[in-house]
Amino acid sequence: MARGDAVSGAGLAADLGYAHSEGNPVHRAIRWFAGTRAGAWVLARTLRRADSVAGRLTGGRHSAPSMFTGIAVLTVTTTGRRSGAPRTSHLIATPYDGTLALIGTNFGQPSTPAWVLNLEADPRAVVGYRGVSRDVVARPASPSEVEEVFARSAAFYPGYGRYRHRLGGRRRVRVFVLEPPGTAREPGVTS
């Protein structure tokens, strides 16, 4: 997997220029619909294909969620836990404490997203946004961080809270905080 540059002291969100916009009325309506049971069902079954089309039409500059909702979309490349091959996902990150956090809701579906399982097997990843990429290590968020990340995500995408509520206790929603390599405990590193 090709790795990006090391993260500077400014913080990951600032390094990438990653921030969410309020969006226009159409964007906000689509965000609302995406958080409903019907919207989540549609997205879970169509987003990967729509993302491929959007990427081809825009030369990789946009993803379907960024075009339709106005929400910033991060490219996250993990290592496949079974294949060992690079696996890239388009994810919405939550700006958190100078860095970014990822929420594994999978649109409120009962299955855990593959990228979550990949990060649990190997927390090293590469994130990219608008042509800038950085190496990161994903660490599980503490219980208080999970609550803070969900609270912050509600400001730009209330669907996360709805997905979490809909899942109830059927599965644990994993939340990861992305940190620069060397600051988080990486696999194979002893203290």
For residue 34, what pLDDT is reported?
80
The pLDDT profile of the chain, 191 residues, written as one tens digit per residue, is: 333 333 344 689 999 989 888 888 888 887 788 878 887 778 777 777 777 777 677 676 667 776 777 788 899 999 999 999 999 998 999 999 999 999 999 888 889 999 999 999 999 999 999 889 999 999 999 999 999 999 999 888 888 888 898 888 788 899 999 999 987 554 444 33
Is residue 142 in a domain? Answer: yes
Q: How many domains does the chain have?
A: 1
Instruction: Write down the mean pLDDT value for the chain.
Output: 83
Cα angle 175, 140, 74; round to 5: 50
- Residue 17 has which token pair? 């220029």
Convert the pLDDT of each residue in 1-36 to its tens digit.
333 333 344 689 999 989 888 888 888 887 788 878
Does the pTM of the predicted model rise above 0.85? Answer: no
Q: Does residue 187 fall inside a structural domain?
A: no
* 62 CB-near residues (< 8 Å, 6+ apart): 54, 55, 73
Q: Look at residue 7 in the predicted model and tell me its pLDDT.
A: 38
CATH code at 75?
Answer: 2.30.110.10
User: Does residue 46 lie within any of the structural domains?
Assistant: yes
The CA distance from 39 to 159, in Å, is 10
Expressed as residue numbers, the domain containing 81 is 12-179
- Give domain status of residue 190, yes or no: no
Q: Assess if residue 189 is contained within a domain.
A: no
Nearest CA to 103 out of 31, 175, 169 is that of 175
Give domain status of residue 4, yes or no.
no
